[in-house]
């Protein structure tokens, strides 16, 4: 089953999501450069804080706390450096730290060095430059997970729709490289089943086809800025996660069929090869 992730800094929403079966609560501290590159777009700009990491860590019991820090940076007049931001996030209970919007191998190396193995790491591949350098990046040690961010990636390529990198083979090529390296990975975001410009069920099936292990539940899955009633939010999470899992169960049945068929092909080919060698007297 896919690890489901939801962005919030509200402890009550985090507990609702956790109870419904969301695996990771996503604290999003990224703000440096984000407003400029996503100017005019209806995207999530959370501006969570290190204190939110502590609050969410104390609020949840089984869900992991995923923290997106800022791109590698020196100290700003009103904000700490990457080193201090990372140290504070780890001290406040982050299970996984995500590095966004990197373009160079050196940025990734710096991030991994700053984390220093104290918690798990996730790289957010969301620039064309990161895609181009992915082979070199994956040679670095200390990378636990990679997430392919389709929104900024599509912007970087000048594409009008965020799921075009999924349709044009870009995501598939990245997934193949990650799978070859044995790195856990995910991509994109999904709304509720039956909703979204590209309905969630189609995207979930692509996750299974490509061997993905996690996905972000988008703001439209449950926009708590618009839905105020806690009971309605709880109901939406419970039903939404259940429907996702139902789609996954169907995917798993198909995956099982192909795995069993692959095993049978291997078995039969081995038998045929043994028979050929036996008949040839070798």
Residue with tokens 């064309």: 128
- Is pLDDT above 90 for 35? no
| Residue range 59-78: mean pLDDT, rounded | 97
What is the CB neighbour count within 10 angstroms for residue 38? 15
pLDDT classification of 42: cutoffs 50, 70, 90: low
% of the chain beyond a pLDDT of 70: 96
- Residue closest to 82 by CA, chosen among 91, 73, 94: 73
Query: 0.85 exceeded by the pTM?
Result: yes
Cα(86)–Cα(21) distance, integer angstroms: 28
Burial label, 277 (beta-carbon count in 10 A; 0-12, 13-18, 19+): exposed
- Asked if residue 153 lies in contact with residue 187, where contact means CB atoms within 8 angstroms, the answer is no
Cα(104)–Cα(133) distance, integer angstroms: 7
- Is pLDDT above 70 for 282? no
Report the pLDDT value the prediction gives residue 281, as an integer from 0 to 100.
75
- Asked if residue 104 lies in contact with residue 113, where contact means CB atoms within 8 angstroms, the answer is no
% of the chain beyond a pLDDT of 90: 84
Give the distance from CA 196 to its chain's centroid. Answer: 18
Give, in order, the Cα–Cα distances in Å from 280 to each of 13, 269, 272: 69, 16, 12
| Residue range 38-45: mean pLDDT, rounded | 59
Q: State the alpha helices, DSSP H only, in the chain.
A: 11-20, 34-37, 50-59, 82-91, 105-115, 128-132, 134-137, 150-156, 164-167, 170-181, 200-209, 230-279
Give the distance from CA 185 to its chain's centroid. Answer: 7
Q: What is the DSSP letter of 2?
A: P
Domains detected in the chain: 3-255 (3.20.20.60)
Report the pLDDT value the prediction gives residue 25, as an integer from 0 to 100.
98
Mean pLDDT score of the chain: 94
């Amino acid at each position: 089953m896919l690890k489901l992730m939801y962005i919030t800094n509200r402890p009550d929403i985090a507990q609702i999501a956790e109870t419904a079966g969301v695996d990771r609560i996503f604290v999003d501290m990224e703000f440096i450069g984000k407003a400029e590159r996503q100017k005019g777009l209806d995207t999530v700009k959370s501006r969570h804080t290190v204190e939110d990491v502590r609050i969410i860590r104390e609020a949840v019991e089984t869900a992991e706390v995923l923290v997106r820090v800022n791109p590698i940076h020196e100290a700003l007049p009103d904000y700490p450096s990457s080193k201090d931001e990372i140290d504070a996030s780890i001290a406040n209970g982050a299970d996984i730290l995500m590095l966004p919007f990197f373009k160079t191998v050196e940025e990734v190396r710096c991030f991994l060095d700053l984390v220093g193995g104290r918690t798990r790491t996730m790289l957010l591949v969301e620039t064309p430059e990161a895609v181009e350098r992915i082979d070199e990046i994956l040679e670095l040690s200390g990378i636990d997970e990679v997430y392919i961010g389709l929104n900024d990636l599509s912007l970087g390529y000048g594409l009008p729709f965020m799921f075009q990198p999924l349709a044009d083979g870009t995501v598939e090529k990245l997934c193949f490289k990650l799978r070859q390296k044995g790195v856990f990975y995910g991509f994109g975001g999904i709304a509720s089943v039956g909703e979204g410009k590209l309905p969630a069920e189609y995207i979930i099936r692509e996750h299974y086809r490509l061997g993905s292990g996690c996905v972000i539940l988008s703001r439209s899955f449950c926009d708590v800025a618009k839905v105020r009633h806690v009971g309605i939010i709880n109901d939406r999470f419970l039903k939404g996660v259940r429907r996702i899992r139902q789609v996954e169960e169907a995917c798993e049945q198909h995956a099982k069929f192909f795995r069993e068929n692959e095993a049978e092909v291997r078995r039969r080919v081995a038998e045929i090869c043994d028979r050929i060698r036996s008949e040839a007297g070798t």
